[in-house]
Amino acid sequence: MDFLVATSTYIIPLVIFFIVGYGVLNKTDVYDVFVEGAKDGMKTVWNIAPTLIGLMVAVGVLRTSGFLDFLGGLLAPVTEGIGFPSELVPLTLVKMFSSSAATGLLLDVFKEFGTDSYVGLIASIMLSCTETIFYTMSIYFLTAKITKTRWTLPGALVATLAGVITSVIIVNIF
């Protein structure tokens, strides 16, 4: 374990040194290339900011309005029947939009049920094997100027469902 800690301490400075050294050896003006990349990065941030703000506001409204808890209660008979706690329905939905908001909900789950509880274990595993579908799609497709997403959303939803099912199975096995 000490080896991993020592390696992680030095890896980023070594990567930066390697990149700068490689640029100098190839007679590239490393600073100018860095500045151009930073400009492009700022343009990207400027272009995706409205989408990010919209997603964050929508998640905040759904969370504070109580709609997510209402939906969890509504789906409780179905989710409890398959072994998935209805308390995790809001977490599952929010995770598709915002990982940071889902982390906040996860902390609420931990406070209410505990980290080693059935609900807490499923929530932990589920968050580590699902994706922020709508956030990722909006960022990548907006940046790449892709308008036809084809099968991306259905595929991502199936993958998320597989992650949720797998988290229940893993907790029940162990």
Q: Over the stretch 117-141, which tens digit does the pLDDT of each residue have?
A: 999 999 999 999 999 998 888 888 8
| Assigned domain for 148 exists | yes
Q: How many CA atoms lie within 13 A of 70 on its CB side?
A: 6
Confidence of residue 167 (pLDDT cuts 50, 70, 90): very high
Whole-number CA gyration radius for the chain: 21
Asked whether residue 85 carries a pLDDT value surpassing 80, the answer given is: yes
Task: Quote the tokens at residue 2.
Answer: 């000490």
Q: Over the stretch 22-69, which tens digit does the pLDDT of each residue have?
A: 999 998 898 899 899 999 989 888 888 887 788 778 888 888 898 988
d(CA 131, CA 59): 15
| Assigned domain for 22 exists | no
Asked whether residue 146 carries a pLDDT value surpassing 70, the answer given is: yes
d(CA 107, CA 88): 12
| Assigned domain for 17 exists | no
pLDDT at position 1 is: 64
Selected residue with higher pLDDT from 58 and 158: 158
Domain carrying residue 140: 46-173
| Assigned domain for 1 exists | no
Contacts of 11 (CB under 8 A, 6+ apart): none
| Assigned domain for 58 exists | yes
Name all contacts of 135-139 with Cβ < 8 Å and 24+ positions apart.
135/52, 135/55, 135/97, 135/98, 135/99, 138/48, 138/51, 138/55, 139/48, 139/51, 139/52
- Neighbouring CB atoms inside 10 A of 61's CB total 10
Contact 135, 98 (CB under 8 A): yes
Compute the mean pLDDT over every residue in the chain, rounded to the nearest whole number: 89
| Assigned domain for 153 exists | yes
Asked whether residue 92 carries a pLDDT value surpassing 90, the answer given is: yes
pLDDT at position 169 is: 93
Selected residue with higher pLDDT from 169 and 143: 169
| Assigned domain for 141 exists | yes
Selected residue with higher pLDDT from 166 and 53: 166
Instruction: Give the chain's domain count.
Output: 1
